[in-house]
Structure 1
Amino acid sequence: MSNSNQQRPYEEENYPISPEIIYYGDRKFVYIVIQEGIYPPAVNYTEAPNYFPIPDNYTIKTTWGQANNSRTIQCSIYYVEEKPHYLICFGDNLQYQVFSAQSPFDASVELHKIITPDRRTAVSGVHLFGLQLKCINRNCKGRPRELKLHKESSKTTQINLAKGLAKKEQVHFENTIKDFYNPKDRVVLKAIDFTVENKEYHVTFGDENYVKKKQKLQSIAYVQDLENIPRDAYLHLAAVESILPREYAIS
């Protein structure tokens, strides 16, 4: 029995001993975990403000709605080229499918176009896939996972690992701002720099300002011509200082 006095959202669970999880939020969801999945090295996250981690090889059965009008679907997530893809099976025998390579919300929209075509609203994709469930997140993070050495990973994996680490630090940064600054202060994390085995990474955040970028490139090209700096010399300088634009960008 649920405790109606307990503050929502909350979970009733004995996971992983029992695969059933009951979630009470704006509405009630009943989940059956079929396959917990894993968090890959270059894990993706849901959109702001929650940034829930998205597992790979993950399958969960979700039921919501009133007893006489409830719906049950099966949601799966699998990564292709380090990007999550979302699959929802529905119908009496889960014989129908919708798919999205964009987001859980997009998958939910595609589902509701079929099951509730007369309505313009859709149930949260995060809740359909159970990505908000703390007990699954806790159990996934609690399992040890051996990682490859950086030098043994492909270049694509190395880049995605750097992006994943940067995204996690961005989430931590945004969650910590309130402890140091007034809410009215506009605090923005613009970039993060770190090295892995002497390989430098510079990750920027937010939408790129192409006007400012173009102005910066033009200014560098102007100084390069004015001071008669050879392109080979600039190329060596850009190799030493990672935040300088690459030589080909200003050629």
Structure 2
Amino acid sequence: MDSSDQNSNCTFAHDYPNSNIITTTYHENNRKTHLRKHIIHSLGVYPSNVKKTKKSSKNYPEYEIPDNYKVETLEGYKIVCKTNYLLDGTVKFTLNWKDSQGINWYISNNNSASGIAKDFLKLLNKKTRVSGIMLFGFNIPCLIEARKNNPIYINLGGDEVIGIDLSKVNSDFARVHQDAIVRACDEALILRDGYRHLAAINSSLEREYQISDR
């Protein structure tokens, strides 16, 4: 069943997760409206070292930035937007699209979603402006809720997998999460050095020093 969420001056029509298409209606102060469609290819997760969007003004809300997020939208061309956390904890924003001549374009930015949106419009010689938050859809309520309610699954070795339901975890989440990681390492006979190497290539994992005293 289709549903609609309201967020400030935006309305979101969707049937997520049954459908990966979300249509956003933006209501401007002059009573004009415009639509943007997002096609969600990868929901992504909020890592423990989650970063937030930069405020464009004092009263403008911040939104958490997911890792391994992939979404398609339309801004003159069909654009694929991605976010990935790097080893140092910074976020890499990427845009990929094909122009009218069939040439593939790829740009990236480690600063902000709005920064890469500006880079994109500059390449197209467009004088218009587009919000990085709206381009990537960081403000879509059903996606935010889905990430926060999405269980973390940890393979304990063999066929045994445990899941942690984040919707039922309160402020003690960090402790519970760290204890689960320690248990998983013990069960799978993963030594401290081995875990340190895993954490080095996956920024969503807790750092080794954060769980060494558990």
Query: What percentage of residue pairs aligned between the two structures are identical?
Result: 22
**How far off is 1:8 after superposition?**
3.9
Q: Which has the higher helix share?
A: 1
Q: 1:148 Cα deviation (Å)? A: 2.7
SS at match of 2:129: coil
For 1:128, what is the secondary structure of its paired residue? Answer: helix
After TM superposition, the runs of 4+ consecutive aligned structure 1 residues lying more than 4 A away are 149-154
Which amino acid letter does the alignment assign opposite residue 84 of structure 2?
Answer: Y
Q: Which residue of 1 aligns with 2:122?
A: 113
Distance 2:12 2:123 in 1: 29
Is 1:31 the counterpart of 2:25? The answer is no
* Residues 32 and 118 of structure 1, relative CA distance in 2, 3 Å threshold: closer
Call closer, same or farther: CA 1:35–1:50 in 2, change over 3 Å: same
1:72 is aligned, of 71, 75, 78, to: 78
Deviation sequence 1:3-56 (CA, Å, 0-9, x none): 9xxx84110000011000000114311010001111101111112331101000
Partner amino acid for 1:62? T
Aligned position for 2:185: none
Q: Which residue of 1 aligns with 2:71?
A: 60
Encode CA deviations 1:169-227: one digit per residue, 9 max, x unaligned: xxxxxxxxxxxxxxxxxxxxxxxxxxx99x9xxxxxxxxxxxxxxxxxxxxxxxxxxxx
1: distance between equivalents of 2:70 and 2:85?
A: 13
1:167-182 to 2 correspondence within 5 Å? Answer: none
Q: CA deviation at 1:60?
A: 0.1
Q: CA RMSD for the aligned pairs?
A: 3.3
Cα gap change, 1:91 to 1:132, in 2 (>3 Å): same
In the TM superposition, what are the counterparts of 1:193-212 in structure 2 within 5 Å?
Answer: none
Matches within 5 A, 1:1-251: 8-26=9-27, 27-48=34-55, 49-64=60-75, 70-80=76-86, 81-92=88-99, 95-115=104-124, 117-119=125-127, 121-145=128-152, 146=164, 147-149=177-179
Change over 3 Å in CA distance of 1:130–1:118 after alignment to 2:
closer
In the other structure, the counterpart of 2:168 is none
Change in Cα spacing, 1:94 to 1:123, as seen in structure 2 (3 Å) is farther
Does structure 2 conserve the Cα–Cα contact (< 8 Å) formed by 1:74 and 1:94?
A: no
Cα distance between partner residues in 2 of 1:58 and 1:96:
19
Q: Which residue of 2 aligns with 1:218?
A: none
TM-score scaled to structure 2, two decimals? 0.61
- The one-letter code sitting in structure 1 at the alignment partner of 2:39 is I
Output the CA distance in 2 between the equivalents of 1:61 and 1:94: 17
Q: Measure the CA separation in 1 of the matches of 2:14 and 2:103.
A: 25
Structure 1 residue runs of 5 or longer lacking an equivalent are: 65-69, 162-195, 200-251
Structure 2 gaps of 5+ residues are 28-33, 153-163, 165-176, 183-191, 205-209
For these two proteins, the number of residue pairs brought into alignment is: 152
